[in-house]
Amino acid sequence: MGIRTLVFLGTLTLGALSAGAQSTITGYQDRLVRLAEIMGSLYHLRDVCGRSEGDLWRKNLQRLMETEDPPQDTRGRMVAGFNQSYEQQRRSHSRCSGAATDEITRLAREGERLTNQLAQQ
């Protein structure tokens, strides 16, 4: 194998690693955004179902962003996702119902799963 072939293979390997690392980073950031969306949903749903938690979920989002320190564009996506999910739940659930409590349970489970995945990376 010539030196040119070795350099070419080395370049391909580095490119593959970079693409894999980028994919991992993107997946991680997407999970952060989804977790922010869940927090926004829970912010409304838990309030409408009688859990007066004040700004707990907004503060949790702030803490998550401080801890993870994502890039600015990801921060923007997280805030937008939180706010959009809050508004969507507000339009869908104006009062506590079986559907609202089921949604709280589903979202809490998904949030727990995402948190565990994020902690493992």
Cα dist from 23 to 1, 7, 28, 30, 43, whole Å: 31, 24, 8, 10, 30
8 residue type, one letter? F
Tens digit of each residue's pLDDT (9 = 90 or more) over 61-114: 999 999 989 999 999 999 999 999 999 999 999 999 999 999 999 999 999 999
Say if residue 13's pLDDT is above 50: no
- Average confidence score pLDDT of the chain: 81
The answer, as to whether pTM is greater than 0.85, is no
